[in-house]
């Protein structure tokens, strides 16, 4: 009887339903008024169960502040708002007679503060992934963030949260919430305001349902669970952080150990199809040309050097360390190397660029619309960089505190690994400086040039959920920055530079769209018209 009553009481929880549905609708209408549609996918999370709400708040805060004072003031307001909201949601979802409101408010305040501390590093990495959209930043941030949320989700309900882990059934509800919030973002991506409002209202109803069951599972499980004194929950959250940091160290170390390779001059006969291969971040030069050429007499592949050319016109070998460079300087080096290669081959050049190389190519083509280039293949293109930004050291501006925290994390990883992207490095600085031009140029149509973009499926997690591409796009299974060395992609490159058409899979393109829309729920919101107003 009690169980049946518990299952049918959601309809009677009017405060829970009002808050869970009403606040996401208010957020959507506010975002529509401010012209920030990139935040629609996050709106349903304002009343999501457990630390999902804190995760939502931090991502907004990290993007939308312009001074330390403003950050602190907004942080205090968010802590107060989140604590009050959590206490109200928990109280309205409590099975039977709830504890006093002051006690629940105390639980909520502690849970908000602890969740903010443990989630802050992962929000910072997601912020970095919006500055330079690299999928491995997203994958380095979201799994540990979700693990942290899973470990801490009982804090606002269980006063002894620190000495016992949450029950399995409540953890299952958190997993279901992650799925529902992801699908909500997919459903609103690129949709009209009425559709967004309808989807977000349904998401709010799910949040109420999830709170109803989550609180019930935790409360009913309290007497049967351990009351040990050891802070197992805190240790579990710290373990998540340590595992993620060590994993990042291993990954960055592997990327930083690429050897330069040896340049071997090839035969650049007149009439041979010349190809400039532009590697990405942490790539060495210059032994990839012969590998891609694969003994073919029909093409000549020369690798772009991030150091420029010798006096004899040959690319200078280098390790991956030199690729953290200013994009405008790299565009000038590309101009010189392309002019040299076009003169030697007697015709226009095909450019095949990957990752950071796609940024270099975009800057170059924007500055040189009459470039001696007739074909452009973009592998692992960095789509819509600098959706958020932060000022230089010592200056105030949007994302100021997030920028400082990003510097701390990048310096920490750099101490443990030989090479990583620096938050103050030349590459990131030039991306922030040229943000508006890069967003307009990358994957934009150049009428004189035949273009195609080859996207690894993993990069869908950092792509905007509602992107409409102006050029031909092919999606392939794979990870960012690892395409040009794959035999199947090399075959694709050789056939395409010689004029053959490519045909991608509609299935993979659809999967890419689904992943991009779902993953947009966990990105930070973009500045949109606030940073880059129309006109």
The residue with tokens 């309290």 is 222
More confident residue, 529 or 359: 359
Per-residue pLDDT of 503-517, as tens digits, reads 889 999 999 999 999
Q: Do residues 166 and 154 touch, judged by C-beta distance below 8 A?
A: yes
* Residues making up the chain, counted from first to last: 535
Lowest-pLDDT range of 17-26, 247-256, 411-420: 247-256
Instruction: Identify the pLDDT of residue 2.
Output: 44
More confident residue, 420 or 192: 192
User: What percent of the chain has a predicted confidence (pLDDT) above 70?
Assistant: 89
Q: Do residues 293 and 301 touch, judged by C-beta distance below 8 A?
A: yes
Query: Domains (ranges, CATH) in the chain?
Result: 2-255 (no CATH), 258-403+412-530 (3.40.50.1820)
Instruction: Identify the pLDDT of residue 349.
Output: 96
Per-residue pLDDT of 431-448, as tens digits, reads 998 877 777 666 677 888
The three-state (H, E, C) secondary structure of 366-388, written as one string: HHCCCCCEEEEEEECCCCCCCCC
The Cα-based distances of 215 to 92, 103, 154, 223, 386 in angstroms read 10, 15, 8, 14, 40
Average pLDDT score, the chain: 88
Cβ contacts of residue 106 below 8 Å, gap of 6+? Answer: none
Instruction: Report the candidate in 118, 121, 128 with the shortest Cα–Cα distance to residue 63.
Output: 128
Q: Do residues 131 and 382 touch, judged by C-beta distance below 8 A?
A: no
State the pTM of this model: 0.91
């Amino acid at each position: 009887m009690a169980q049946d009553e518990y299952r049918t009481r959601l309809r009677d929880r009017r405060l829970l339903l009002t808050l869970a549905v009403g606040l996401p609708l208010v957020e959507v209408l506010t975002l529509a008024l401010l012209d920030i549609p990139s935040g629609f996918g996050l709106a349903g999370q304002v009343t999501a169960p457990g630390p999902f709400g804190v995760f939502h708040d931090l991502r907004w805060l990290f993007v939308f502040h312009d001074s330390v004072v403003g950050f602190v003031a907004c942080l205090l307001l968010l802590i107060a708002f989140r604590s009050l909201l959590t206490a109200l949601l928990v109280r309205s979802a409590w099975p039977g007679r709830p504890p006093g409101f002051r006690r629940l408010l105390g639980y909520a305040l502690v849970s908000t503060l602890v969740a903010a501390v443990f989630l802050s590093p992962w929000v910072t990495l997601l912020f970095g992934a919006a500055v330079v959209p690299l999928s491995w930043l997203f994958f380095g941030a979201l799994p540990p963030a979700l693990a942290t949320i899973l470990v801490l989700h009982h804090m606002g309900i269980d006063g002894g949260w620190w000495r016992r882990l949450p029950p399995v059934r409540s953890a299952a509800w958190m997993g279901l919430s992650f799925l529902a919030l992801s699908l909500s973002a997919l459903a609103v991506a690129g949709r009209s305001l009425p559709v967004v409002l309808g989807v977000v209202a349904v998401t709010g109803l799910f949040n109420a349902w999830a709170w109803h069951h989550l609180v019930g599972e935790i409360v009913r499980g309290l007497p049967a669970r351990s009351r040990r004194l050891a802070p197992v929950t805190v240790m579990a959250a710290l373990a998540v952080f340590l595992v993620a940091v060590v994993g990042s160290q291993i990954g960055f170390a592997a990327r930083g150990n690429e050897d330069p390779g040896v340049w071997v001059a090839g035969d650049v006969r007149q009439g041979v199809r010349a190809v400039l291969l532009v590697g990405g971040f942490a790539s060495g030069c210059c032994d990839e040309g012969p590998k891609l050429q694969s003994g073919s007499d029909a093409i000549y592949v020369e690798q772009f050097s991030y150091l420029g050319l010798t006096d004899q016109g040959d690319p200078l070998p280098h390790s991956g360390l030199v690729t953290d460079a200013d994009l405008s300087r790299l565009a000038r080096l590309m101009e010189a190397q392309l002019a040299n290669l076009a003169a030697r081959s007697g015709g226009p050049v095909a450019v095949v660029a990957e990752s950071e190389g796609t940024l270099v190519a975009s800057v170059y083509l924007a500055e040189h619309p009459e470039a001696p280039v007739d074909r452009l293949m973009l592998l692992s293109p960095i789509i819509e960089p600098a959706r958020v930004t932060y000022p230089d050291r010592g200056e105030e501006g949007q994302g100021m505190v997030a920028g400082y925290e990003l510097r701390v994390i990048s310096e920490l990883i750099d101490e443990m690994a030989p090479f990583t992207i620096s938050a103050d490095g030349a590459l990131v600085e030039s991306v922030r400086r040229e943000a508006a031009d890069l967003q307009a140029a990358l994957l934009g149509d150049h009428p004189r040039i035949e273009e195609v973009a080859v996207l690894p499926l993993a990069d869908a997690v950092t792509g905007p959920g509602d992107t409409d591409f102006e050029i031909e796009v092919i999606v392939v299974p794979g990870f960012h920055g690892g395409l040009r060395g794959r035999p199947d992609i090399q075959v694709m490159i050789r056939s395409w530079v010689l004029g053959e058409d490519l045909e991608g899979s509609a299935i993979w393109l659809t999967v890419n769209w689904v992943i991009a829309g779902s993953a947009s729920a966990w990105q930070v919101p973009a500045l949109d018209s606030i940073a880059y107003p129309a006109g």
